[in-house]
Amino acid sequence: MNIRFYNARILTMEEPLSIINGELHVSGNTISYVGTSAQAPKDDKFDREIDCKWNLLMPGFKDAHTHSAMTLMRSYADDMPLQDWLNQMIFPVEAKMGAEENIYFTKLAVMEYLTSGITAAMEMYLDPYAIQLAFSECGFRNVQVSGINKFGPSLEEMEKRYIELNKKDDLSSYMLGFHAEYTCEKGLLEDIAAMANKYKAPVFAHISETKKEVEECKGRYGVSPIELLDQMGMFNYGGGGYHLVHVSDEDIEIIKKRKMYVVTNPASNLKLASGIAPIKRYLDEKIPVAIGTDGPASNNCLDMFREMFLVTGLSKVREEDAACCDAIDVLKMATVNGAEAMGLEDCKYLTKGSKADLIMIDLSKPNMQPLHNIPKNIVYAGSKLNVALTMINGKVLYEDGQFNIGIDQEELYAKCNDLFKKIYGAAN
């Protein structure tokens, strides 16, 4: 489908950051023109023309860490520390989840991503085949990461998934990873590192989320999680860590040396009392930072606007410096840096030849007025209410409160509530 967006303000996210007044053309799943209306091709034919009414087009946000199907557990396992939350509340319910639950609760998450202007998710959860099916049926871009741990799957199964699910379709890819140091035996971690070196592949995992995690790792091995994993050669080809709240100077040097990404999850870290990540230090050290929501059982909502505000707000409080962690840097974390961490190089800008993954921000809402500094206002004042349209791969999946993901909204809600009752009846 060929679509023309006109009367648009366009924030491409290319450097230097600026806003173009003009139009954007989509041909199939690709952006074919971005620029002024005066210079736009005059002979292009369109299936649809959208008057943006001078609202803002920009790249979609990239949720660089999430567990989508944990929508099942939203507001079920609240107000508990991380280890108790996992062992007492989360793991017993996850043991009851099958493919059906993973599919429908992932689709529920997709609806929420779309309302928040999120166009891609870096997913780590239970059944990657079912989850990839759910994302693809909805038309949602996804990068799955292995969550292998001592409970499963086998190393052979992880490799099989890496081979079979990587680039299975235009919307999907798969990366090597593991849940966390504390849920893996040392031998398993060494085997994962060997596989990463075999495929020359990056690796992602939950790392240094809590003080307890770091202290227990030091008790087992005499070094921090980052140091342990680096000794194994885990990040010889890059990758990154989810959370990375409690890090030493030595850890930071390893992160820099291995060209790792930091994926910060401020709302989840607050709710689970894990701490505040040293974002200013990462920025000062030129370490790339992306943003994730984490799962909807630990957050509890999938809202990139809230995450962006918390990244900058908490950094200012942590450092006692209102000038640190500029909103523009945070907007880059939520878009460009997230795309790079996820290997989505063709999804980070609104430029000719890029994938047509974009959102329209409604600037007519009172929280966007007056139009002093639109990019900063998105971080400091923006909300889901400003997302008027979300397009992924050239297809409009959300527009003016309506979804186009292949399933009726009320039907999905009813199915999820039925599955919720079945699972929690079995879990209790």
What are the tens digits of pLDDT across the range 108-152? 999 999 999 999 999 999 999 999 999 999 999 999 999 999 999
* 35 close to 23: Cβ distance less than 8 angstroms: yes
Residues 161 and 228 in one domain: yes
Pairing outcome for strands 395-399 and 402-403: antiparallel
- Give the Cα separation of 15 and 330 in Å (integer): 15
Q: Does residue 91 fall inside a structural domain?
A: yes
Same domain for 168 and 87, yes or no, is: yes
pLDDT interval class at 167 (50, 70, 90) = confident
Tell me whether residue 415 is in a domain.
no
The CATH number given to whatever domain includes residue 50 is 2.30.40.10
Residues 101 and 38 occupy one common structural domain: no
Is 324:315 a contact under the CB 8 Å cutoff? yes
Residue 397: the pLDDT is 98
Q: What is the overall mean pLDDT for the chain?
A: 97
pLDDT digits (tens, 9 = 90+) for 24-83: 999 999 999 999 999 999 888 999 999 999 999 999 999 999 999 999 999 987 998 888
Q: How far is 214 from 218, CA to CA, in rounded Å?
A: 6
Helix (H) or strand (E) holding 158: helix 155-165
Please indicate, yes or no, if residue 93 is contained in any of the structural domains: yes
Instruction: Determine the Cα–Cα distance for residues 408 and 388; give it in Å rounded to an integer.
Output: 19
Residue environment code for 176-215, b if the CB has 16+ CB neighbours within 10 A, otherwise e: bbbbbbbbbeeebbebbbebbeeeebbbbbbbbbbeebbe
Give pLDDT, residue 258: 98
Tell me how far apart the alpha carbons of residues 172 and 139 are, in angstroms, rounded to a whole number: 10
Domain that holds residue 204: 69-345
Q: Does residue 427 surpass a pLDDT of 80?
A: no
pLDDT tens digits, residue range 203-226?
Answer: 999 999 999 999 999 999 999 999
What are the beta bridge partners of residue 243? 207
Task: Count up the domains in the chain and report the number.
Answer: 2
With respect to residue 168, please indicate whether it lies within any of the assigned structural domains: yes
Q: What is the CATH number of the domain that holds 255?
A: 3.20.20.140
Q: Assess if residue 409 is contained within a domain.
A: no
Mean local confidence (pLDDT), 359-369: 98
Check whether residue 98 and residue 217 sit in a common domain. Answer: yes
Same domain, 255 and 369: no
77 and 52 fall within a common domain: no
What pLDDT does residue 212 have? 96
Per-residue pLDDT for 302 more than 90?
A: yes
If asked whether residues 210 and 338 sit together in one domain, one would say yes
**Do residues 272 and 396 both lie within one domain?**
no
My answer on whether 40 and 138 are in the same domain is no
Asked whether residue 425 is assigned to any structural domain, the reply reads no
Domain membership of residue 421 (yes or no) is no
Q: Name the pTM for this structure.
A: 0.97
- Kindly write down the DSSP assignment for every residue of 257-296, as one continuous string: HTTEEEEE-HHHHHHTT-----HHHHHHTT--EEE----T
Q: Are residues 94 and 46 in the same domain?
A: no
Residue 193 neighbours by CB under 8 Å, 6+ apart: 203, 229, 232, 233, 234
Q: Residue 426: what pLDDT?
A: 60
Indicate whether 236 pLDDT > 60: yes
Q: What is the model's pLDDT at position 257?
A: 98
Domain membership of residue 427 (yes or no) is no
> Same domain, yes or no, for 290 and 374?
no
**Has residue 428 got a pLDDT over 60?**
no
Are 73 and 56 in a shared domain? no
